């Protein structure tokens, strides 16, 4: 296989030529004021598919609560990276401005190198289990006289690139792999460029940029969104002039060639430290909403952590009122810089695997002070936020919903202490069913309420236990009726519910 790139120092693959003329584009800035407190954007409950997990990130399903609190969880970071810079072409820093996919039995990690002033290289690692990674010999790019390396892509002379991110689009048989990246070329047009691939290894780039009013730091959604669109989260080239800070913008496309003008979706607000900037974000479908991994940069000290965000429509985004880190600067190798893969977490059993890049040094701190590796963070599925009760019983009354049929299934825990052994228990969860007017349905309430005390699901456990009422009754009996599940919690946590 040949690779269509021109040489860079001793990289001898000719990639493409760029047209001197750039694409003209009008800048359409949407500079709406960010409120002092984030808006609570509740979804239209009538459009929700209850067969998907319904999370408690906001009050979409909450009518009323007593003696409860919403608690935000962080991902657990493996203490050692899963991929370190070990090959000569990787220098001292590899970065996760890239994507990770599980394609049948093969895991693929698209990642980059970052060792200025050397050009950044785009590389591929593969795995059988998502933990142990190898560098396949792709024989595409010549590095120091040999093509026996895992380099997919190299910039041509004078070109600067922000690492590509990849979308896996299996409905397009001709090009199921698509790539977007920011590049600048000296006198030629800077902007977002795209490329197509049949196998995800040999790429055919487009010679003209698809957007020219953006800046570096681009994340392409790893799949199409629910409307069938391709989505990119990026920067606007004039954001510093308008806002004086980095912030997150969104562009979409139906054909991967014509992209909408970027629209602002997230920026610093009064709940952030005054020195906060939103460096970038990855976004992906999850359950029946969208989740985002925001790169929150606080200038003093110079640290980038990952924070959770969510959206019900992919365009209006929210962040927690409590601004803790979802992936924190925890170890020497990721103490200064953290960025997530552009795709959704990979679920294995009941565990979500989130790949991210960590660096020991922040801006301007390169060799020998900065080290970059790729790590893995995990969290039990759905457990991003909990409705939590202490030792006094609390109550959550949901808003009305038309039950679609099937059993009621909860993602919950009745362990008294969150960090205790999952079998320790000590708490209690009771479930009643009320009607639309908040009147208890006798067969499912009071002394007939369901006691749902379960062992906390751990990694590898994916089959939930449905809620059962006295006489082994199930919500299948109430198919088509408008109901309100009501949860009574003591020393317990509720993360999500759904119909199964």
Q: Is the pLDDT of residue 7 over 50?
A: no
pLDDT band at 37 (very low <50, low <70, confident <90, very high): very low
Pick the more confident residue, 456 or 378: 378
Phi, psi (rounded to 5 degrees) for 241: -70, -40
- CATH class given for the domain over 53-72+385-499: mainly beta
358 forms beta bridges with 338, 373
Pick the more confident residue, 365 or 499: 499
Q: Which residues contact 158 (CB under 8 A, 6 or more apart)?
A: 185, 186
- Mean pLDDT within 389-402: 96
> Is there a cis peptide before residue 301, judged by omega within 30 degrees of 0?
yes
Same fold, 53-72+385-499 and 76-380: no
Task: Annotate 324-353 with DSSP letters as a single string.
Answer: --SB---SGGGSSEEEE-SSPPEEETTEEE
pLDDT at 299: 85
Pick the more confident residue, 440 or 45: 440
Cβ atoms of residues 484 and 399 within 8 Å: yes
pLDDT band at 369 (very low <50, low <70, confident <90, very high): confident
Q: Is the pLDDT of residue 380 over 60?
A: yes
Q: How many alpha carbons lie under 13 Å from residue 202 in its C-beta half-sphere? A: 10
Q: Is the pTM of this model over 0.75?
A: yes
pLDDT band at 456 (very low <50, low <70, confident <90, very high): low
Task: Annotate 152-177 with DSSP letters as a single string.
Answer: EE-PPTT-EEEEEEEEE-TT-SS--E
- Mean pLDDT within 496-500: 96
pLDDT at 174: 96
Cβ atoms of residues 320 and 308 within 8 Å: yes
pLDDT at 30: 39
Closest CA to 375 of 348, 400, 355, 403: 355
User: Please, which contacts does 347-351 make with residues 24 or more away whose CB atoms are closer than 8 Å?
Assistant: 347/381, 348/130, 348/459, 348/460, 349/459, 349/460, 349/461, 349/462, 350/380, 350/381, 350/457, 350/458, 350/459, 350/460, 350/461, 350/462, 351/378, 351/379, 351/380, 351/381, 351/459, 351/460
Domain boundaries, the chain: 53-72+385-499, 76-380
Cβ atoms of residues 354 and 347 within 8 Å: no
Least confident of 79-93, 292-306, 369-383, 421-435: 421-435
Calpha distance 317→321 (Å, rounded): 13
For residue 88, the SS3 value is helix
Length of the chain in residues, anyone?
500
Pick the more confident residue, 137 or 3: 137
pLDDT at 463: 63
Q: Which CATH architecture has domain 76-380?
A: 5 Propeller (2.115)
């Amino acid at each position: 296989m040949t690779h269509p790139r021109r040489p860079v120092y001793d990289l001898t693959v000719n990639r493409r030529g760029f047209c001197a003329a750039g694409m003209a584009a009008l800048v359409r800035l949407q500079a709406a004021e960010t409120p002092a407190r984030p808006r609570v954007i509740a979804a239209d409950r009538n459009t929700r598919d209850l067969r998907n997990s319904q999370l408690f990130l906001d009050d979409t399903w909450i009518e009323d609560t007593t003696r409860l609190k919403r608690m935000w969880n962080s991902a657990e970071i493996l203490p050692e990276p899963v991929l370190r810079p070990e090959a000569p072409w990787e220098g001292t820093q590899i970065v996760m401005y890239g994507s990770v996919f599980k394609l049948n039995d093969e895991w693929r990690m698209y990642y980059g190198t970052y060792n200025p002033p050397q050009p950044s290289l785009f590389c591929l690692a593969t795995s059988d289990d998502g933990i142990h990674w190898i560098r396949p010999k792709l024989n595409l790019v010549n590095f120091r006289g040999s093509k026996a390396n895992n380099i997919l892509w190299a910039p041509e002379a004078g070109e600067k690139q922000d690492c590509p991110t990849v979308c896996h689009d299996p409905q397009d048989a001709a090009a199921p792999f698509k790539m977007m990246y920011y590049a600048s070329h000296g006198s030629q047009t800077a902007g977002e460029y795209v490329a197509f691939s049949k196998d995800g290894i040999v790429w055919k780039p487009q010679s003209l940029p698809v957007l020219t009013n953006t800046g570096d730091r681009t994340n392409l959604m790893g799949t199409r969104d629910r409307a069938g669109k391709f989505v990119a989260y990026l920067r606007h080239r004039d954001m510093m002039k308008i806002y004086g800070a980095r912030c997150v913008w969104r562009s979409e496309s139906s054909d991967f060639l014509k992209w909408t003008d970027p629209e602002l979706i997230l920026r610093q607000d009064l709940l952030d430290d005054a020195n906060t900037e939103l460096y970038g974000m990855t976004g992906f479908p999850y359950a029946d909403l969208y989740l985002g991994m925001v790169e929150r940069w606080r200038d003093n000290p110079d640290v980038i952590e990952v924070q959770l965000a969510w959206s019900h429509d992919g365009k209006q985004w929210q962040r927690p009122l409590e601004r803790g880190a979802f992936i924190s600067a925890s170890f020497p190798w990721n103490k200064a810089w953290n960025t997530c893969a552009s795709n959704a977490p990979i679920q294995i059993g009941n565990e979500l695997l989130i790949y991210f890049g960590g660096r020991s040094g922040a801006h301007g701190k390169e060799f020998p002070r900065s080290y970059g590796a790729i790590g893995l963070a995990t969290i039990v599925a759905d457990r991003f936020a909990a409705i939590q009760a202490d030792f006094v019983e609390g109550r959550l009354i949901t808003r009305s919903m038309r039950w679609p049929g099937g059993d009621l299934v909860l993602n919950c825990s009745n362990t008294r202490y969150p960090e205790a052994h999952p079998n320790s228990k000590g708490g209690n969860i009771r479930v009643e069913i009320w009607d639309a007017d908040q009147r208890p349905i006798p067969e499912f309430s009071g002394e007939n309420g369901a006691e749902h005390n379960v062992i906390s699901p751990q990694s590898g456990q994916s089959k939930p236990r449905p809620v059962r009422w006295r006489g082994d009754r199930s919500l299948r009996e109430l198919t088509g009726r408008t109901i309100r599940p009501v949860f009574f919690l003591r020393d317990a946590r509720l993360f999500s519910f759904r119909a199964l």
